[in-house]
Every structure is written in structure tokens, then in C-alpha cells.
Amino acid sequence: MKFSIEIVKKELLIFGNQKRIAEKLGYSRTYISMVLGGRNPITMELIQKVSEITGKPIDYFTENQSNINSDFFILKEKLAEVETENKTLRQQVDELKNKLIAAMSKQLGIF
């Protein structure tokens, strides 16, 4: 199983600087620096500790999950765009309905 350094970094940086991260995980700051810098591999032992302190499952930190997370954020952004466009279109439809009702009412002499 290959782990994603990007996901590990993102989750660990919540805890502050490398010194705090190292203390939280029970490793030296140097070791954490080397892992986060890509000079040391991410071990299963490290991932288990990261999983414990973050409350995220081990699978969350895999490279496959990194791709899933990336796809998720792209889709989330697209959804926000579509929702904004949908809101704009609904407003335009409502405006047209109101104009149509006003025109029909005027023609029929209702208002």
C-alpha cells in the first residue's frame, strides 16, 4: 500500500509546526521533517499513529484516496458552479413569468 505524502501533510499540519507534530506522534522533529520532505518513506507505523490522532482510517492516506479526494474537490467546485448557474436561471424564469402574468393581466384588463 502506497501512502500519499500530500494527504499526510495536509492532515498533520492541522496540529501546527513540525515540532508539535513530532511530539504528538512520538517521533523526533528531524524524522518528521525528513518524512514530510520526502526524504524518508512513510511507514505503516507512522500511518497508524497519524490515523489515531486524526481519527481518519488508514485507507484515507493512500494514493488512491488522494486521487479520489482530488476528484471530489473538482466535482464539488463544478457543482457549486452549476448551482449558481441554476439559481441565476431560476431568477430569470421567475422574472419572465412575472412579465408574462403582467402582460396577460393588462391584455385581459384584470389589473
User: Mind giving me the DSSP string for 25-78?
Assistant: HTS-HHHHHHHHTTSSPPPHHHHHHHHHHHT--GGGGBHHHHHHHHHHHHHHHH
Task: Tell me how far apart the alpha carbons of residues 87 and 47 are, in angstroms, rounded to a whole number.
Answer: 43
**Average pLDDT of span 89-104:** 94
pTM value > 0.75: no
Is the confidence at residue 60, as pLDDT, over 90?
A: no
Domain 1-61, CATH 1.10.260.40 — does that match?
Answer: yes
- 85-to-77, 80, 94 alpha-carbon distances in Å: 12, 9, 14
Condensed to tens digits (0 to 9), the pLDDT of residues 12-50 reads 888 889 999 999 999 999 999 999 998 999 999 999 999
> What confidence score (pLDDT) does residue 84 get?
92
> What confidence score (pLDDT) does residue 46 get?
94
Is 46 or 62 the better-scoring residue by pLDDT? 46
> What confidence score (pLDDT) does residue 68 get?
64
HSE on the CB side for 32, CA within 13 Å? 21
Domain regions of the chain by residue span = 1-61
